[in-house]
Structure 1
Amino acid sequence: MLNNEYLKRVYAQVEQRDGDQPEFKQAVREVFETLEPVIEMHPEYEANGILERFVEPERVVKFRVPWVDDSGKVQVNRGYRIQFNSAIGPYKGGLRFHPTVTESVIKFLGFEQILKNSLTTLPMGGGKGGSDFDPKGKSDAEVMRFCQSFMTELQRHIGQFTDVPAGDINVGGREIGYLFGQYKRIRDEYSGVLTGKGLEFGGSLARTEATGYGLCYYTQEALRVLRNDSFEGKTVVISGSGNVAIFATEKAQELGAKVVTASDSNGYVYDPEGIKLDIVKDIKLGHRGRIKEYADRVPGAEYHEGCAGVWSVPCDIALPCATQNELDGEAAKTLVANGCTVVCEGANMPSTPEAIETYQANGVLYGPAKAANAGGVAVSGLEMSQNSYRLAWTFEETDAKLKSIMETIVADSLAAAKEYGVDGDLMAGANIAGFTKVANAMVAQGVC
């Protein structure tokens, strides 16, 4: 609920201007509902129009992406790059290729990215981009032609000191490679303009694992500090079966947990003996198959149509790693009724407002996405550093830096929560810690 007049006025402006953008409005309201003590304590934010500027992107780029499919037919998709805030560094954020991509989706992701990047302590602003193109079912040649067309326009708006995109849903090593090759071809320069690159051409060890590993480092640290507990002996439900879910599963298993689920857009598998990760990797990373295949290959595993049903599986810890708003109020109530006491988010905004209310009303340890899944962009930032230095760190060096960053995010979130009177609230603390750093930079830089 919004009580502060300044917060109410700016949110009303968002509703008026962006009433057709539900995901963006949801993201803004969730942050605003935690900022009241900050706004009360810092009248200079209102005097400098910080909130009005904070919710308005610095630049919105929207463009057509024409490409030719294997049958010779011309296809046209929409491309986006939203450069939201550069107060603390060049714009940084992934590219998402998925049929559900709209301006609202990209804006909510970019808005969240401002705070996420701030929390990493690295000098990166917030941005996001993508297209409604769907790589699934496309040949490598079709994906290459699309990526080349997409980059032909995008290259006008990015650069290693301006805006550094990375991958997101459906944008992995293959897509980043095609995008980087086209950028290099057009601009005739070899720079760290994209992260998530292959190791052969400037990528960082541990980048593929970073979001999933970082999610578990964050969860483990939050459990240690707030519950004097750990992953050891816990049953974990994970949604998704992409990079985030796969490597969250890997790290949770290393930390002593039993992960019992994996899912994709068609359904989920439940393996009471614990997910066999080598089989999931073969299905998803080896030949881009469907998760249903797991049940065909593993005796005792069950496949269920409909991915939302994954939240009916009893667990101690839930790690949603699929997509936005995948976990609603009813699913959250089911999780709580089945004994779940920890929810930390690997996907971006996977919990609806009703789900978050359920967590908070029932004392669930809740780690919001902007903090819990910041590991991916953190290692992207480390990749930028390695590119600038023209060197490469070992996996162990990068992983140690990632672990330290995620533990620092927990500490900074809890410190901010305590300072502003919401002790122990990881969500409010993350919003406050991320926001105040950016807001103070905006005040210092004047009206721009």
Structure 2
Amino acid sequence: MSQSHSLITELQTKIHEKDPGQVEFLQAIDEFFSNLTPFLDKHPEISEKHILDMITEPERVLQFRVPWQDDQGEWRINRGFRVQFNSAIGPYKGGLRFHPSVNLSILKFLGFEQIFKNALTGLPIGGGKGGSDFDPKGKSDSEIMRFCQSFMTELHRHIGPNLDVPAGDIGVGGREIGYLYGQYKRLRGNDQGVLTGKGLTFGGSLARTEATGYGLVYFVKHLLANSDDSFKDKTVLVSGSGNVAIYAIEKVHALGGLVVTASDSSGYIYDPEGINLDLLKDIKEVKRERLTEYVKARPSATYVAGESVWQHQVKADIALPCATQNEIDTEGAKRLIENGVKIVAEGANMPTTLAAVDILHAEQVTYCPGKAANAGGVAVSALEMSQNSARLAWTFDYVDQELDKIMQMIYENCRDTAAEFGLENNLLAGANIAGFKKVAEAMLAQGLV
């Protein structure tokens, strides 16, 4: 056992003892540490200066109460958070999530992943994440506006275009970003670069809505092209029916593939003729209804309540999990292998358990981790920041082309870094090492801060 491996094991044990209840954060730590040994063996200065110890501790964790009033006049209280994890290569950058499951463990895991995801884009942005255990489902527009205004009344003290630039995530779309920015402007004045994912009328970027889903598909496109292959005639399984899933489906269809599934928290649909994107967008983006409405209007589709896409028995080539963390477990991984899936690329953050990743690797399934494959959203957020700084608005085609270039660069960086350290075809190792290398070098250069 090398000295680096011993140091990693010792630090893992230390973190597990300090944060015993933070299950998601510890999972992210364990995944990250799983393949760093070859890099640390070649760079002992990283261990000597305790960079690993520093990078696993957030620079700042904020927690605050969010009081708001519902439509019945009742006073309500939620928790708000912002985890400012690492600013070595730029201002903290990462989304805000509004969902009942939000807690410190989930936001630390997301913020930690964001460090390396952002580093892989090649753009000067650090890692952070935030949100609230507020549930926007079933709330009126007025209630959501009042909640967002209260949330920003505290958060505005801790963010800024050169300090921390939040964006959207689960439960935080264009509507919520608009209300959040409106309150920030009321308190601090016009500063469009403080939030990304804004509306096009007040500093938003074309192609930002599509960016995470499109970027995911571009990553796989370049992976396939590496073997002189393409999406043409490929059957694709997608989970989720939110922003990431919808635009992943759109781009797969544009490239000649066929997506046959989508899901929400109640169940999933299977449509062997291919997901009808216009219908899905109308249900989810316009009417904000459940997927049960899809099958009412689409005779070719079936709806399965209370189950996961990854339990479905159907032959496919590619899987794109775009829903939430840990949605693919060991049984799901085995079912994907039985179904003939050869590529699993993550549109969500950490949707595959560690044990499931091991199964995929053992069966030669190419696994594309979220910190690389779903980096398109934050990449275009950084491009939105650039447009805000320059007081410019780029065309959709220009932003889309830049996104494609960034995703190609990320794929090639992960591929080449894995090969450099004798871990060919292990894109998880390539992503972890490439992202860590950039941040660690910046931290070393800046000293003990």
TM-score after normalising by structure 2: 0.98
Q: What corresponds to 1:292 in structure 2? A: 292
Provide the rounded CA distance (Å) in 2 between the counterparts of 1:228 and 1:20: 46
| Mapped partners of 2:424, 2:62: distance in 1 | 40
Q: Which residue of 1 aligns with 2:164?
A: 163
Cα distance in 1 between the residues matched to 2:96 and 2:176: 10
| Aligned-partner Cα distance in 1 for 2:201–2:422 | 49
Match of 1:19 in 2: 20
What residue in structure 2 maps to residue 93 of structure 1?
Answer: 94
Given that 1:264 and 1:307 are in contact with CA atoms closer than 8 Å, whether structure 2 keeps it comes out as: no
Give 1:14-163 correspondences, 5 Å limit. Answer: 14-163=15-164
Report if the CA contact (8 A) 1:261-1:310 is conserved: no
Contact 2:97–2:170 under 8 Å retained in 1: yes
Instruction: Please tell me whether the aligned partners of residues 310 and 336 of structure 2 are also in contact (alpha carbons under 8 angstroms).
Output: no
Q: Is the 8 A contact 1:263 1:307 kept in 2?
A: no
Shift in Å at residue 9 of structure 1?
1.4
> Could you tell me which residue of structure 2 aligns to residue 262 of structure 1?
262
Shift of 1:189: 3.2
Unmatched tracts of structure 1, length 5 or more? none
Aligned equivalents of 2:405, 2:350: Cα separation in 1: 24
Cα deviations across residues 122-149 of structure 1 (Å, max 9, x unaligned)?
A: 0000000000001000000000000000
Other-structure match for 1:210: 211
Structure 2 CA distance for aligned equivalents of residues 350 and 397 of structure 1: 31
Summarize the Cα distance change of 1:427–1:53 in structure 2 as closer, same or farther, 3 Å threshold.
same
Matching of residue 401 in structure 1 with residue 402 in structure 2: yes
1:370 maps onto 2:371 in alignment = yes
**Contact kept? 2:310, 2:335, Cα under 8 Å:** no
Counterpart CA distance in 2 for 1:57 and 1:412 is 26
The 8 Å contact of residues 310 and 332 in structure 2, kept in 1 or not, is answered as: no
Q: Measure the CA separation in 2 of the matches of 1:39 and 1:243.
A: 38
Query: Which stretch of structure 1 is more off in the superposition, 421-430 or 142-151?
Result: 421-430
In structure 2, C-alpha distance between the alignment counterparts of 1:426 and 1:352, rounded to whole Å: 16
State how far apart, in whole Å, the 1-side matches of 2:31 and 2:239 are. Answer: 23
- Measured in 2, the distance between the counterparts of 1:368 and 1:215 equals 10
Say which SS state the counterpart of residue 109 (structure 2) adopts.
helix
Q: Secondary structure at the match of 1:423?
A: coil
For the residue of structure 1 that corresponds to 2:47, the secondary structure is helix
CA apart distance, 1:374: 0.2
- Supply the distance in 1 between the matched residues of 2:319 and 2:269 (Cα, whole angstroms): 15
Give unpaired runs (5+ residues) of structure 2: none
CA contact (8 A) 2:94 2:128 kept: yes
Q: Which residue of structure 2 lines up, in the alignment, with residue 238 of structure 1?
A: 238
Does the 8 Å contact 2:161/2:191 carry over to 1? Answer: no
Q: CA deviation at 1:5?
A: 1.1
CA contact (8 A) 1:35 1:431 kept: yes
Equivalent residue letter for 2:244: V
| 8 A contact 1:375–1:402 mirrored in 2 | yes
Aligned residue identity for 1:232? K
Q: Retained in 2: the 8 A contact 1:265–1:307?
A: no
Corresponding letter in the other structure for 2:22: Q
What is the alpha-carbon distance in structure 2 between the residues aligned to residue 231 and residue 380 of structure 1?
26
CA distance in 2, matches of 1:310, 1:51: 35
Deviation per CA, 1:161-205: give whole Å up to 9, x if none. 000000000100000000000000011233310000000000000
Distance 1:194 1:130 in 2: 14
* Partner Cα separation in structure 2 for residue 229 and residue 184 of structure 1: 48
Q: Secondary structure at the match of 1:274?
A: coil
Q: Give the drift of 1:310.
A: 4.2
Kindly indicate whether the alpha-carbon contact (under 8 Å) linking 1:235 and 1:257 is maintained by their aligned counterparts in 2.
Answer: yes
Q: Give the superposed CA RMSD.
A: 1.1
* 1:307 Cα offset (Å): 4.0
* Residue identity (%): 61
How far apart, in 1, do the equivalents of 2:327 and 2:308 lie? 7
Q: Which moved more, 1:415-424 or 1:32-41?
A: 415-424
Tell whether the 8 Å contact from 1:262 to 1:269 is kept in structure 2 after alignment. Answer: yes
CA contact (8 A) 1:238 1:320 kept: yes
Matched AA of 2:403: L
Indicate if the aligned counterparts of 2:95 and 2:167 stay in contact, CA closer than 8 A: yes
Measure the CA separation in 2 of the matches of 1:132 and 1:355.
28
1:101 alignment partner, SS class: coil
Partner SS for 2:197: coil
CA distance in 2, matches of 1:41, 1:307: 46
- Alignment: residue pair count: 447
Q: Which amino acid aligns with 1:264?
A: D
- Pick which of 332-341 and 378-387 moved more: 332-341
Cα distance in 2 for residues equivalent to 1:365 and 1:220: 13
In 2: Cα distance, 1:249 partner to 1:413 partner: 24
Paired with 1:311 and 1:159, the residues of 2 have a C-alpha distance of 44
TM-aligned CA deviation for residue 420 of structure 1: 1.3
The answer on whether the counterparts of 1:97 and 1:132 sit within 8 Å (CA) in structure 2 is: yes
TM-score by length of 1: 0.98
The 2-side partners of 1:261 and 1:108 are apart by 28
Cα distance, 1:53 vs structure 2: 0.3
For residues 18-61 of structure 1, the C-alpha deviation after alignment (integer angstroms, 9 at most, x for no partner) is: 11100000001101011011111111111111000010000000
